[in-house]
Amino acid sequence: LQDFRAQGVGRALIAEALSDLPEDAHYIYLNSQLDAMSLYAKFGFVAEGEQFEEAGIQHFKMVKKV
């Protein structure tokens, strides 16, 4: 997957998902791999809680108020 990184695809997908949230949404959350946390932080997501393992990969829950 390294060959497909840093091409703007992730940013475009996140922006599109955020633009399509229901009007009554108060927050959105996701489980981010450690390497992707800085990308989500650029969109206002903040790490919440303890680091955890999912599918053998370390993650943090990240939350964004909308």
Residues 31-63: tens digit of each pLDDT: 999 999 999 999 999 999 999 999 999 999 999
What's this model's pTM, rounded to 2 decimal places? 0.86
Overall number of domains in the chain:
1
Structure tokens at 62: 């990240």
Indicate whether 2 pLDDT > 80. no
pLDDT at 5: 75
pLDDT at 4: 74
- Least confident range of 2-6, 17-21, 43-47, 56-60: 2-6
pLDDT range class, residue 1, cuts 50, 70, 90 = low
CA separation for the pair 66, 56 (Å, rounded): 31
Domain that holds residue 52: 2-65
User: Which residues neighbour 29 within 8 Å (Cβ) at sequence distance 6 or greater?
Assistant: 48, 61, 62, 63, 64
Q: Where residue 39 sits, what CATH number does that domain have? A: 3.40.630.30
